[in-house]
């Protein structure tokens, strides 16, 4: 759904050849994208509100739960996402400099980073589920309510973030195909730029999720 939306948006100015505004307004397209990103941040904002309230209510269980999370995997994932954000930005610069091959390489690398992130997540979640820690599991339901809330939030927030990673990778893949097909060029790269912005958002949200769950507790 989100993919469709973006596609519509990033191509969308007066494609039927209107009489008054024939040129493509890149700033306008970017404003639309930023407004959309803003709404995504509010979406996660609701979850961060829940985090704040429950952290205030169960500080000791939050810190107990936080210590059970694997900081090494978390830190690795942070680095992976940060690097991929850089390479996405680099691919846009490459397109602007007409270096198509470079841009493709950077994009492929970014998508690979996304895959690495998800694989790490898979192992992390898998280990937790193996220890009978997942929503509505026996251990959590019969254990301390504070711990249940902590892990509940952990699954909901990282799960929703994971979905966004998948959406972001889909967008990057579409941009990759468009770059290869020669549809994204140095004069018209809104699709790539907006996909890149979306990828930065995915990164940005993780930058908040990582310390909240792995570091501050």
Partner 1 sequence: MIKTESFYDTPSPAGLTGIRAWLLTHDHKRLGLMYMWAILFWFVIAMLCGLLLRTELMSQGKTIMGPELYNSLFTLHGVIMVFLFVIPAIPAIFGNFFLPIQLGTDDVFFPRLNLFSWYLFMFGGLLALISLFSGEGFPDTGWTFYVPFSVEVNTNVSLTVMAAFTLGMSSMLTGLNFITTFHRMRDKQMGLMQIPLFTWSLYATAWVQILATPVISITLVLVVVERLFSVGLFDPDKGGDPILYQHLFWMYSHPAVYIMILPGMGVISEIIPVFSRKSIFGYKAIVWSSMGIAVAGSLVWAHHMYTSGMSDVSVFFFSLLTFLVAIPSAVKVFSWVATMYKGSIEMTPPLLLSLIFIYLFSIGGLTGLVLGAVGPDIHVHDTHFVVSHFHFVMFGGTGFAFFAALHFWWPKMFGIMYDFKKAYIGSILTAIGFLFHYIPMFILGMQGMPRRYYDYLPKYETGNFLAGFGAYLLCIGILIMFANLFMSFRQREPASSNPWGGTTLEWTVPSPPPLHNFVDKPQVMEFPYDFSEIAAQVKRGER
Within 37-66, the residues that bind partner 1 by CB under 8 A are 38-40, 42-47, 49-50, 53-54, 57-58
Cα separation, 14 vs 123, in Å, equals 47
Q: Does 144 bind partner 1 (CB under 8 A)?
A: yes
Query: How many C-beta neighbours within 10 Å does residue 77 have?
Result: 24
Residue choice 91, 148, 194, 195 for contact with partner 1 (CB under 8 A): 148
Q: How far is the CB of 94 from partner 1 (least distance, A)?
A: 28
Per CB under 8 A, the segment of 7-15, 99-107, 173-181, 188-196 that binds partner 1 is: 7-15
Residue choice 3, 36, 109, 208 for contact with partner 1 (CB under 8 A): 36
Cα separation, 203 vs 208, in Å, equals 9
Per CB under 8 A, the segment of 97-105, 133-141, 183-191, 209-217 that binds partner 1 is: 133-141
Q: How far is the CB of 193 from partner 1 (least distance, A)?
A: 16
Cα separation, 185 vs 207, in Å, equals 31
Per CB under 8 A, the segment of 13-21, 91-99, 178-186, 202-210 that binds partner 1 is: 13-21
Q: Is the CB of 4 or the CB of 181 nearer to partner 1?
A: 4
Q: Does 19 bind partner 1 (CB under 8 A)?
A: yes
Cα separation, 18 vs 12, in Å, equals 12
Cα separation, 70 vs 152, in Å, equals 16
Cα separation, 165 vs 206, in Å, equals 10
Cα separation, 74 vs 131, in Å, equals 18
Cα separation, 169 vs 202, in Å, equals 10
Rounded to the nearest angstrom, the gap between the alpha carbon of residue 69 and the centroid of all alpha carbons in its chain is 20
Nearest CA to 201 out of 45, 5, 4 is that of 45
Q: Does 9 bind partner 1 (CB under 8 A)?
A: yes
Q: Which residues bind partner 1 (CB under 8 A)?
A: 1, 4-5, 8-9, 11-16, 18-21, 25, 27-28, 31-32, 35-36, 38-40, 42-47, 49-50, 53-54, 57-58, 135-136, 140-141, 144-146, 148-149, 152-153, 155-156, 160
């Amino acid at each position: 759904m989100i993919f469709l939306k973006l596609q519509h948006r990033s191509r969308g100015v007066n494609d039927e050849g209107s009489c008054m505004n024939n040129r493509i307004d890149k700033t306008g397209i970017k404003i639309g994208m930023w407004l959309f990103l803003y709404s995504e941040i509010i979406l996660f904002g609701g979850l961060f509100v829940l985090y704040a309230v429950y952290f205030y209510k169960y500080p000791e269980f939050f810190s107990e739960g936080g210590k059970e999370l694997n900081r090494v995997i978390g830190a690795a994932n942070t680095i992976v996402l940060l690097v991929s954000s850089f390479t996405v930005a680099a691919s846009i610069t490459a397109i602007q400099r007409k270096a198509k091959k470079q841009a493709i390489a950077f994009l492929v690398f970014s998508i690979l980073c996304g895959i690495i992130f998800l694989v790490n997540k898979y192992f992390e979640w898998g280990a937790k589920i193996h220890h009978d820690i997942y929503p509505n599991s026996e251990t959590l339901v019969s254990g301390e309510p504070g711990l249940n809330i902590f892990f509940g939030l952990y699954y909901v927030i990282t799960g929703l973030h994971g979905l966004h990673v998948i959406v972001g990778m889909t967008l990057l893949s579409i941009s990759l195909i468009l770059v290869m097909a020669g549809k994204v060029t140095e004069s018209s790269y809104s699709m790539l730029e907006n996909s890149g912005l979306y990828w930065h958002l995915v990164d940005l949200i993780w930058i908040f999720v990582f310390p909240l769950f792995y570091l501050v507790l």
